[in-house]
Amino acid sequence: MKKIIILLFTAACLQLQAQVVYEPLHRDVYNFLSRLSQKGIIIFNDEIKPLSRKYISEKLSEVSEKLSELTSLEKEELDFFKQDFFYELNLKTDTTMHLSYFGKDDAGRMRLFSYKDDLFTFNLSPILGYSYGKNDGLRNNHFWNGVYFYGYLSNAIGFSFDFRDNSENGKGVDFSKSFTPVTGISSRGHGTNIQYSEGRTTIATDWGWGSFAVGKDFIEWGYGESGKLVLSQKAPSFPFIRLDVQPVSWLRFNYIHAWLASDVVDSNSFYPVYNDGLRFLYRDKFLASHTLTITPLKGLDISLGESIIYSDKFEPVYFFPLAFFRVVDHYLSRQNNSAGSNSQFFFGVSSKNHLKNTHLYSTLFIDEITLSGLFNSEDQRNQMGFTLGGSITDIPINNLTFTTEFTKIFPFVYSHFIPAQTYQSGSYPLGHWMGANADLFYASLNYRILRGLLVKVWGQYIRKGEAGTLIQQYSQPQPPFLFGLRNNFSYFGFSASYEFIHELFVKLDFQQIKNEAQQSDLSFINKSSNQFNFAIYYGL
């Protein structure tokens, strides 16, 4: 398997024209360019992220040619982002040597260390942060530190590395991070203290009409401010290989093969070790996914994707980007369900600026569907989810964006009767954080007051039923939507953040949560809680 990856990467490098470094998903440049594409100023293909710094710099260059279409604040934001992408913007014209440390680089951007010559480029930044919070009156302190660097090697390779170590303490610590959009963790600790770490790294190359990457990171698929159905940042980052191809402007193709964390112990792996302990292994778990996106007209993207979760043994056939995974599964399993894998289909539609300054989007995720059940309720066993959303910006006030979304996930989506083949990694959903048998109404107002200062007011209402049993999951008809005892959640939130200089933030968050928990006699018990958090950090 390792030889296959090395061979693919070497073959890609033989035809390279430029390097690739993926921009971390938390960077605000994504929101900036997304808003401009929503206004029709540029075309920005951001359905699958992260995106390369090279691609982002190209879009910043396009924006620089349309200054008359920007607000005064957007012009300031553009100058700010161009400082960060100075090297990529001057890739072809600047071949001189530059060195800076503990200060500003040649673009005036603060860095811990920066070096560039005609062969090698390297940028290093520290990661350091502290937040103080209260969860229903219970304290939570969060400290984190680490390092982030990225760079380029000649015209061959781009690389990046991000490591951060976390420590949380206090009675208000959320140990499970389950029913929340916050990324899941693999932690250790005791009492009111937990420690966990996260590492991400990627090596990539680009040959003009495509790119190839090997790494461990987050990958997002689709749109959704309140959560993403297909791939999100809910589960911890995972190792992957990634191929992106765009032979013409109206057609894009993406392929991913990932190594997931099953958290399912292999019962055949136990053997004794020192001090009467037992050594064991987890069962292997993999994801293969590919997406075809067609752009029939400017601003309209239509995507069709397929993925499969398989376990126990690596199957080289899933390294074929154009293979029909469901048919491959039928071949490998000999049509025996107990020997097969867990496949999914997903669809996405995105419309930008067909209505002035408006982005309309939808995603459909199909885990399982019975065609006869579409017309006969007695055969119904349809396990799917969908999101419908839209946002409008600069109407009626410049720099103000309103977003609203509705997401519905039917019972048993993301689950599977084989524990190692659930649509999860590290016991967290790969898709939407709220899980199955639930729906969500969401709305937000984002107002950018000045460069780096963002204020957001948001609210959402969630209804969630029970998880159910395996017998219910595979019965026909399956239990109705929101079956079982229900929980209703009402959220109201406010946040304000300010980026003083590149990557130096101060942030304030507040949210109020009201929970109505249904009891066995069908009555409801009401509970309210308030959460407050203040953070200051460099990096994220």
Average pLDDT over residues 164-191: 89
User: What distance in Å separates the CA atoms of residue 362 and residue 300, rounded to the nearest whole number?
Assistant: 12
13: confidence class by pLDDT, cuts 50, 70, 90: very low
pLDDT of 439 above 80: yes
Q: What is the pLDDT of residues 71-104, one digit of tens each?
A: 999 999 999 999 999 989 887 667 778 888 888 8
Which residues make Cβ contacts (< 8 Å) with residue 535, sequence separation at least 6?
A: 129, 130, 131, 132, 142, 505, 506, 507, 509
pLDDT of 482 above 70: yes
Question: Which of these, 391, 392, 387, 439, lies nearest to 411 by C-alpha position?
Answer: 439
Report the range out of 91-105, 172-186, 213-227 with the highest average pLDDT: 213-227
User: What distance in Å separates the CA atoms of residue 375 and residue 175, rounded to the nearest whole number?
Assistant: 44
Strands of 105-209 (E only): list them: 110-116, 120-135, 138-153, 157-169, 188-190, 193-206
Question: Which of these, 338, 325, 337, lies nearest to 287 by C-alpha position?
Answer: 325
CATH number of the domain enclosing 137 = 2.40.160.130
User: What distance in Å separates the CA atoms of residue 329 and residue 343, rounded to the nearest whole number?
Assistant: 8
pLDDT of residue 371: 65
pLDDT of residue 188: 73
Q: Match 């590149």 to its residue by tokens.
A: 502
Measured in whole angstroms, the distance separating CA 60 from the mean position of its chain's CA atoms is: 23
Looking at every residue in the chain, the average pLDDT score rounds to 91
pLDDT of 11 above 70: no
pLDDT of 358 above 80: yes
pLDDT of residue 311: 95
Average pLDDT over residues 314-326: 94
**Cis-peptide into 411, omega within 30 deg:** no
pLDDT of residue 92: 64
Q: What is the pLDDT of residues 242-253, one digit of tens each?
A: 999 999 999 999
User: What distance in Å separates the CA atoms of residue 14 and residue 431, rounded to the nearest whole number?
Assistant: 35
Q: Which residue has the higher pLDDT, 43 or 117?
A: 43
Measured in whole angstroms, the distance separating CA 119 from the mean position of its chain's CA atoms is: 32
Q: Which residue has the higher pLDDT, 2 or 316?
A: 316
Average pLDDT over residues 340-353: 96
Q: What is the pLDDT of residues 256-299, one digit of tens each?
A: 999 999 999 988 888 888 776 788 889 999 999 999 999 999 99
372: confidence class by pLDDT, cuts 50, 70, 90: low
Average pLDDT over residues 467-495: 92
379: confidence class by pLDDT, cuts 50, 70, 90: low
pLDDT of residue 16: 46
pLDDT of 3 above 60: no
Q: How many domains does the chain have?
A: 1
User: What distance in Å separates the CA atoms of residue 75 and residue 219, rounded to the nearest whole number?
Assistant: 30
Q: In the chain, what percentage of residues exceed pLDDT 70? A: 94
**Is the distance from CB of 130 to CB of 535 less than 8 angstroms?**
yes
- Quote the domain boundaries for residue 277: 2-538
Lowest mean pLDDT among 125-139, 180-194, 474-488: 180-194
**pTM of the prediction?**
0.92
Q: What is the pLDDT of residues 299-316, one digit of tens each?
A: 999 999 999 999 999 999
pLDDT of residue 407: 98
Helical (H) or strand (E) element with 369: none
pLDDT of 14 above 50: no
Average pLDDT over residues 29-44: 97
Helix residue ranges per DSSP H, 85-168: 86-89
Q: Match 């993301």 to its residue by tokens.
A: 414
pLDDT of residue 106: 83
pLDDT of residue 268: 83
